[in-house]
Amino acid sequence: MKARWQDWLMLLAGAWLCFSPFWMAGYASPVSTAAWNSYVAGILVALFAIVALAAPQRWEEWVEILLAIWLVISPFVMLFYATENGAAWNTILAGILIGAVAIWVLAQYPVRSRPVRTSPRI
């Protein structure tokens, strides 16, 4: 498997998550739960995108799906959906994008079945 353009998109999404708290007003506070969630998730998404660019594997897409699910539910689990509305929407939309791209890659590159070896009859 060679590197896909979707892996570059994942790298950009990870970078967006890491740097968006600085670009969005009031979101980059050192004690902001939303900002720390965005930093950690962004670093993980970017890290798995880099791994996928080096040697694409299906498991990386599954990890990105799990990260996407976390990003969508994290504003509600970590209770920053009401206090930091822009941060919540940023996190949810990034999670939807990351999940959609990961599912797309899994659908685009299905698992190839291996031929079944049978033992010769004696």
- Give pLDDT tens digits for 59-82: 888 999 999 999 999 999 988 877
Domain membership flag for residue 117: no
Query: Considering the domain boundaries, does residue 97 fall inside one?
Result: yes
Q: Rounded distance, CA 44 to CA 60, Å?
A: 11
Taking the model in full, what pTM does it have? 0.81
Tell me if 114 is assigned to some domain.
no
CB 90 within 8 A of CB 45: no
Of residues 20 and 120, which shows the higher confidence score? 20
Position 25 in a domain: yes
The number of folded domains in the chain is 1
Mean pLDDT confidence for 12-31? 83
CA distance 83 to 59: 35
34 lies in some domain: yes
The domain in which residue 59 lies consists of: 5-108
Identify the pLDDT of residue 84: 67
Is 60 exceeded by the pLDDT of residue 31? yes
- Lowest average pLDDT, out of 10-14, 27-31, 62-66, goes to 27-31
